[in-house]
Amino acid sequence: MSTRAGAQQAVQAVQAVEDTAFSFVCVGVSGGPFETDCSSYLMKLADKKWSEGTTLLEAGSWLGALKNILCEPNHAFFDAEFPEATTEAKVELINSWVDQAIISHGHLDHIFGLVLASAVQRVQKPVYGLQDTLETITEAFNGRLWPRLASFNAKDPFAFYHLRPYVY
């Protein structure tokens, strides 16, 4: 390939990125049976860095699946800026970039990763969904199945997930 042709392809690639509204990574796309392939997606505005606000859409698979993705040499986060760190540290960094979650319904293949990730949460994050979905999430965080780390009360200092109903 000539230098000119290579430069032309690079310009086309940049143009394609500039026309993109958002970046989307599929973390998991199934309903099981493997816990690393349940419904879970990450999204950010294309003109922002991952660290400037990332939305978690569904959370069936989460940190374990993310670790598998980051172990790939040409992983989906090619445009993310990572310090020299272990894969686990990169997973924790991406988790810290997520500033909100949106959950469509309360089936385990959509909330399992949200539950497990609460063990490493450092800050409180809003979780949006329909009232019934959020009530199902509180059942998972009922103090018996898992600690009470989700609440409708935004001032609850022990809740890492602040549940916010979608009103239509």
Report the predicted TM-score, pTM, of the whole model to 2 decimal places.
Answer: 0.85
| Tens digits of residue pLDDT in 49-92 | 999 999 999 999 999 999 999 998 888 888 888 888 899 999 99
Residue 16 within a domain:
no
Q: What range defines the domain where residue 158 resides?
A: 21-165
| Tens digits of residue pLDDT in 107-125 | 999 999 999 999 999 899 9
Tell me the C-alpha distance between 145 and 138, whole Å.
10
pLDDT at 9 over 90: no
What share of the chain in percent tops pLDDT 70? 89
CATH number at residue 66: 3.60.15.10
Residue 103 within a domain:
yes
Residue 15 within a domain:
no
Residue 159 within a domain:
yes
Name the pLDDT band for 17 (thresholds 50, 70, 90): low
Residues in the chain: 168
State the first-to-last Cα distance of the chain, in angstroms, to the nearest integer: 54
Residue 120 within a domain:
yes
Q: Minimal CA–CA distance to 28: which of 6, 3, 1, 60? A: 60
What total of structural domains would you count in the chain? 1
Tell me the C-alpha distance between 2 and 57, whole Å.
42
Residue 14 within a domain:
no
Contacts of 40 (CB under 8 A, 6+ apart): 26, 27, 28, 56, 57, 58, 59, 60, 61, 62, 65, 113
